[in-house]
């Protein structure tokens, strides 16, 4: 069934407000004459209101599904065009910077997932870095990124600053919130060795990441612990800062401060939680492939929630 909206008037003459109108996928789409948009807008308040409503609905309905969110590089820059279109340049630049910074590690994750799929298709076993079914290794904001060597005190031009960054490169599990979750779900934690090299790894002084095995009678508690172990404190702070910049712009544009703050908080939380929980579930049952797909599905869920409240 074709969709239509209540539009008070549509003009097709070149000298009127609307330059032309077409039907796209059953939805009426119109383009405004840019000259008259500037000079005659005050004469058509109802038409303008109808046009903006139609444009908003068309943009939402014609937006491509986020099926490519399984690719971490795409997921990081997916919303950049929307940010630029809305003149939201600080968050846009931040998202691009994060994508560039994490490109090496994202590429390695995709290669690992490909190796797992290739081994499975050939009937061979895939040797993981550790037993991902039982444990979860803590994520790092710097490990494997373009800043890897800078944060390694042995190779950094600023050793003291590198040590400080390395000390603070921890996850949400290593916070008071993690302590609260531990007590709430009565979670026991055990150490598990991995083959993942630490940032300060050296041939003469090898150092490997220690994964954590979480045990709780409540499955949701264990899943939450895994999700928090996959979410870095610095990463959450950076994303929170970008969302804060977006919030400042909305308020400066005349949006209601309380409403905008609530929307930003829900958007930030849903995104972090979606990627964290989705990746935790996928990694536990399907390893590297599950981690990528899970984070992608989690991102889609988070974006969907964000779009609903927008």
* 153-198 per-position pLDDT tens digit: 999 999 999 999 999 999 999 999 999 999 999 999 999 999 999 9
171 DSSP assignment: B
- pLDDT beyond 60 at 212: yes
SS3 47: helix
Distances (CA, A) of 18 to 8, 48, 51, 57, 131: 12, 10, 10, 18, 62
Q: Which of 77-91, 133-147, 267-281 has the lowest mean pLDDT?
A: 77-91
Instruction: Find tokens 């039907």 and name the residue.
Output: 23
Q: What is the mean pLDDT of residues 249-254?
A: 88
Supply the DSSP symbol for 231.
Answer: S
Average pLDDT, the chain: 83
Q: pLDDT by residue (tens digit) across 8-53?
A: 444 444 444 444 444 444 444 445 555 555 555 455 555 555 555 5
The yes-or-no verdict on residue 119 having pLDDT over 80 is yes
pLDDT score for 99? 93
pLDDT in tens, 255-277: 888 988 998 899 899 999 999 99
CA distance 58 to 40: 24
* Beta bridge mates, 206: none
Q: How far is 54 from 50, CA to CA, in rounded Å?
A: 6
pLDDT reading at 62 higher than 80: no
Backbone angles phi, psi at 30, to 5 degrees: -130, 150
Which residues does 149 contact at the CB level (< 8 Å), separation at least 6? 155, 156
> Which run of H or of E encompasses 24?
strand 18-24
pTM: 0.77
Q: How far is CA 66 from the centre of its chain?
A: 11
E strand map for 134-247: 188-197, 208-215
Cβ neighbours for 185, distance < 8 A, ≥ 6 positions apart: 216, 218, 220, 221, 222, 224, 225
Rounded CA separation 53/309 (Å)? 16
Is the model's pLDDT at 89 over the cut of 50? yes
Structure tokens at 266: 């829900």
């Amino acid at each position: 069934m074709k969709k239509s909206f209540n539009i008070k008037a549509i003009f097709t003459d070149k000298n009127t407000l609307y330059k032309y109108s077409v039907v796209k996928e059953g939805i009426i789409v119109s383009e405004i004459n840019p000259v008259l948009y500037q000079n005659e807008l005050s004469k058509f308040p109802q038409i303008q209101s109808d046009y903006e409503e139609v444009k908003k609905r068309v943009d939402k309905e014609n937006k491509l599904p986020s099926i490519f969110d399984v690719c971490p590089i795409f997921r990081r820059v997916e919303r950049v065009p929307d940010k630029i279109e809305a003149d939201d340049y600080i968050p846009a630049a931040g998202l691009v910077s994060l994508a560039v910074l994490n490109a090496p590690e994202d590429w390695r994750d995709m290669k690992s997932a490909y190796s797992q799929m290739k081994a499975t298709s050939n009937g061979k076993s895939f040797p993981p870095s550790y037993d991902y079914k039982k444990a979860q290794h803590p994520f790092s904001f710097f490990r494997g990124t373009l800043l890897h060597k800078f944060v390694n005190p042995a190779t950094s031009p600023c050793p003291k600053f590198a040590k400080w960054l390395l000390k603070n490169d921890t996850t949400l599990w290593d916070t008071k919130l993690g302590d609260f979750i531990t007590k709430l779900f009565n979670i026991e934690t055990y150490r598990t060795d991995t083959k993942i090299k630490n940032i300060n790894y050296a041939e003469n002084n090898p150092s490997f990441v220690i994964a954590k095995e979480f045990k709780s009678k409540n499955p949701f508690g264990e899943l939450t612990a895994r999700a928090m172990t996959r979410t870095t404190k610095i990463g959450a702070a950076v994303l929170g800062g970008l969302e804060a910049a977006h919030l400042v712009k909305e308020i400066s544009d005349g949006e209601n401060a309380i409403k905008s703050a609530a929307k930003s908080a829900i958007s930030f939380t849903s995104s972090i939680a979606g990627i964290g929980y989705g990746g935790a579930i996928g990694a536990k049952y399907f390893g590297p492939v599950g981690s990528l797909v899970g984070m992608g599905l989690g991102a889609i869920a988070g974006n969907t929630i964000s779009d609903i409240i927008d």
